[in-house]
């Protein structure tokens, strides 16, 4: 055996395997790969290794330990040799995948390309330490190889000096998501998905079938899941919420802004929405309930209750220090609200204005003395004109007693305008 043999899954599937003296023992139908890190190498990239092979022998399907198999090249053809047939059970392995069943022809996530692709073939390498998966082929070359016409097609193309383009993605840069075997636990390797931007991950999840969509979403950590749920289209949000356990959904909703949760629950039937509200923590649930009381045509239905307020007598240095301690989401500090000692609204000021101001300056010295505000029971139609006229990133929402109820950000106004245009 040479020190290294590279081959493709399509070159092996359905082929005979033989004993060391050349007697045909059966046919190869699938390979099981183990995605667990090796002992002492937990921080290293996982190199999926072949641990078992599914074969058909005399009309019987059995699973054999792969450690006694060798793959040799003879006159450019592969020869699969089994030195000893040792039966095993796939149930004895954890975090494993069947290459043909779970990867070939299935959808995977291209982490770098941030999109779903379909696997046409799998590239493997056999070295003295074992046999490993190194890449998947998602290009035309892999598809033609699968159906056995790659070489004749390439021979024709050689006459015009054209090569069939290959397209490989390294195993380190993919995440399998389209599982036929529900026992596979994606969460053990889901860190790759957590590295994607929530918008990209939302696009990917929306393109999945419903079963895979639920599996992938359930594997995300709660912070990422909350960000992704915000980005999903309403129909996908509803499917996710209705497919997962109430406890799981409630935990995710608690990580989302109250206004986003209110919009989502508003699209559910009343019983389901109430069930989720009951499961959520009391403080989060009460914020959402308050927003749900506003009819869609009022400003209160669009406002977020995630905002920061500071007393007018605080200095710029004190405010920046407090923001560093609180570590709020960036969206919460784009506009900061100013109040007096009785918590009455006085003004709003952007984070940019605070940053460029002298550290010793007090808020009351740099705030706008004539702020633009709306009441929570104003009509939504008034918002677009105010945003456009005054070029505001957000508008404070107050009640008749001049207490702050929330903030309406420009993004939510734009989304509202677009959704209303779609329904016309």
**pLDDT confidence of residue 216:** 84
Is the pLDDT score of 206 beyond 70?
yes
DSSP per-residue letters across 149-189: -HHHHHHHHHTTT--PPP-EEEGGGEEE---S-TT--GGGG
Is the pLDDT score of 177 beyond 90?
no
**pLDDT confidence of residue 295:** 86
Give the architecture (CATH level 2) of 309-423: Roll (3.10)
From the list 223, 204, 266, the residue with the least C-alpha distance to 241 is 266
The DSSP bridge partners found for residue 89 are none
CATH fold of 190-293 reads: MgtE N-terminal fold (1.25.60)
Stronger pLDDT, 307 or 142, i.e. the higher one: 307
DSSP per-residue letters across 361-419: -BHHHHS-SS---EETTSBTHHHHHHHHHHT-SEEEEE-TTSBEEEEEEHHHHHHHHHH
Mean pLDDT, range 13-25, rounded to an integer: 91
**pLDDT confidence of residue 231:** 92
Mean pLDDT, range 101-110, rounded to an integer: 85
Is the pLDDT score of 397 beyond 80?
yes
Rounded to 5 degrees, φ, ψ at 119 are -85, 125
Mean pLDDT, range 368-390, rounded to an integer: 87
Mean pLDDT, range 24-34, rounded to an integer: 93
The backbone region for 280, taken as left when phi is positive above 0, alpha when psi lies in -120 to 50, beta otherwise, is beta
CB atoms within 10 A of CB 352: 10
Token pair recorded at residue 105: 């022809």
User: How are strands ordered across the β-sheet holding 345-350?
Assistant: 309-311, 335-339, 345-350
Is the pLDDT score of 402 beyond 50?
yes
Q: What SS3 state is found at 241?
A: helix
Token pair recorded at residue 343: 């918590």
Mean pLDDT, range 395-403, rounded to an integer: 92
Say what percent of the chain tops pLDDT 70: 90
**pLDDT confidence of residue 422:** 47
Q: What SS3 state is found at 296?
A: coil
Token pair recorded at residue 249: 């959904």
**pLDDT confidence of residue 107:** 82
Is the pLDDT score of 416 beyond 70?
no
**pLDDT confidence of residue 178:** 59
Is the pLDDT score of 28 beyond 80?
yes
Is the pLDDT score of 188 beyond 60?
no
- DSSP code for 4: -
The residue count of the chain comes to 424
Say what percent of the chain tops pLDDT 90: 40
**Segment 30-76, tens digit of pLDDT:** 999 988 776 766 666 678 899 999 999 888 999 999 999 988 887 77
**Segment 339-354, tens digit of pLDDT:** 999 999 999 998 889 9
Mean pLDDT, range 189-211, rounded to an integer: 81
Mean pLDDT, range 180-208, rounded to an integer: 68
Is the pLDDT score of 16 beyond 90?
yes
| Residue ranges per structural domain of the chain | 6-173, 190-293, 309-423
Residue pair 380/297 in contact (Cβ under 8 Å)? The answer is: yes
Give counts: helices (H), strands (E), the chain: 16, 20
Is the pLDDT score of 26 beyond 70?
yes
**pLDDT confidence of residue 419:** 60
**pLDDT confidence of residue 43:** 65
**pLDDT confidence of residue 418:** 56
Is the pLDDT score of 163 beyond 80?
no
Is the pLDDT score of 254 beyond 70?
yes
**pLDDT confidence of residue 182:** 39
CA 303 – CA 262 distance, rounded (Å):
10
CA 148 – CA 153 distance, rounded (Å):
10
- How distant is the alpha carbon of residue 413 from its chain centre? 26
């Amino acid at each position: 055996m040479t020190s290294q043999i590279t081959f493709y899954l399509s070159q092996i599937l359905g082929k005979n395997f033989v004993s060391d003296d050349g007697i045909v023992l059966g046919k190869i139908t699938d390979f099981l790969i183990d995605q667990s890190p090796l002992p002492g190498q937990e921080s290293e990239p996982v190199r999926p290794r072949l641990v078992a092979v599914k074969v058909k022998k005399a009309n019987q399907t059995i699973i054999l330990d792969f450690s006694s198999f060798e793959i040799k090249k003879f006159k450019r053809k592969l020869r699969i040799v089994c030195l000893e047939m040792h039966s095993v059970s796939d149930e004895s392995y954890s975090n494993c995948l069947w290459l043909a069943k779970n990867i070939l022809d299935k959808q995977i996530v291209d982490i770098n390309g941030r999109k779903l692709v379909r696997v046409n073939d799998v590239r493997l390498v056999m070295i003295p330490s074992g046999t490993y998966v190194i890449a998947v082929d998602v290009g035309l070359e892999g598809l033609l190889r699968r159906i056995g016409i790659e070489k004749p097609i390439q021979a024709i193309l050689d006459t015009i000096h054209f090569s069939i383009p290959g397209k490989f993605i390294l195993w380190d840069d993919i995440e399998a998501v389209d599982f036929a075997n529900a026992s596979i636990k994606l969460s053990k390797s889901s860190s790759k998905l957590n590295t994607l931007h929530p918008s990209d991950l939302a696009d990917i999840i929306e393109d999945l079938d419903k079963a895979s969509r639920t599996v992938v979403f359930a594997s995300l950590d709660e912070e990422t899941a909350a960000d992704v749920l915000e980005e999903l289209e309403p129909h996908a949000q509803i499917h996710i919420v209705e497919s997962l356990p109430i406890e799981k959904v409630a935990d995710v909703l608690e990580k989302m802004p109250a206004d986003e949760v209110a919009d989502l629950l508003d699209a559910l039937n009343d019983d389901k929405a109430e069930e989720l509200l009951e499961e959520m923590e009391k403080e989060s649930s009460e914020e959402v309930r308050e927003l749900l009381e506003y009819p869609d045509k009022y400003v209160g239905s669009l406002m977020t209750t995630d905002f920061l307020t500071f007393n007018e007598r605080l200095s710029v240095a004190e405010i920046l220090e407090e923001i560093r301690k609180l570590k709020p989401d960036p969206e919460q500090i784009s506009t900061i609200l100013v109040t007096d000692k009785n918590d009455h609204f006085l003004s709003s000021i952007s984070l940019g204005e605070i940053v460029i101001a002298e550290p010793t300056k007090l808020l009351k010295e740099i705030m706008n003395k004539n702020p633009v505000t709306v009441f929570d029971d104003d009509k939504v139609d008034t918002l677009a004109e105010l945003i456009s006229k005054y070029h505001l990133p957000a508008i404070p929402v107050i009640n008749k007693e001049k207490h702050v109820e929330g903030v309406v950000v420009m993004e939510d106004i734009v989304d509202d305008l677009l959704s209303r245009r779609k329904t016309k």
